[in-house]
Chains A and B, each alone.
Chain A
């Protein structure tokens, strides 16, 4: 029973949504669902926060190796939550001074924007910047002419890499006009327009069919592994 009801909820909800896309009266159902979903996800933050707190409190109480880091995580979590939820140090919006919480958390100079600017931004964008190092090491290791596929992969990457800088212009800029199509910068655009378009299109068509089949598997009750286990 515990599996059957959820399965039917999914089936009915799914088919209703599918049909609603075709009924002009119900066309906004998708957007309404997006709102409902966002609210449910925001409420579910309580669960995530609970899990986070539990993990770290357990580490703390067990005095696991590195429990000090758990203190940092928990402390920073609680402080940020406190500052943000109560809008500490935020003025009301000048247009609506009578509403105490009308100010935006992002106002310059607030504690919240300090956290954003001096903690979240440097930490996350540096994490993001690590990619520059990883693309280099991945290119060194993986782009080797082992077979036809690998050769195509690396030659294309090579053309685009060169074509997207001034080096491409220097290397092939002297090509005469009738062969301008072979200049690296044009070649890289050509690759994008023809090969990349073809590849991406086929991937997209495939994905559309994949999504349709996955969705139908769920809606026909064939695939129940998301409910746990194949055979319910």
Chain B
């Protein structure tokens, strides 16, 4: 299902290196095709604890706990999962806890599954309504710098920031 399996030039290489450089110790995710390569790199890295969730809101809570305990983490989710997080994000906003999330989009560029479209189209407005700063990236060569900027905004300026990775460049083929 992943067309470009473990491509060494894939953007996930640089993002994983960045995670290490900025001291990411926990990642949490519901498995997702769009971020499969990044997840795999993090799983193979013994310095990062990878946690599989039953639903994405658990990951928001876990990241809050990571920060409370003095560690940095990243939540990896598909756009559909964003719709499961909105209430839990109120804790992030209320406590002004840094939250970095990477969201792989469905329901936009070239989508062939109608059921993905409603949530895909409401992902960004829903995040913004929940006071999350959104960076959208549609070109592979810009993913790294965008995640880097988002990480600074999150961990140094104490904000909730989502990097939205367009379906155009995520790993998931438009299935159908």
Task: Tell whether A and B belong to one assembly.
Answer: no
Q: Which residues of A contact B (CB under 8 A)?
A: none
Q: Which residues of B contact A (CB under 8 A)?
A: none
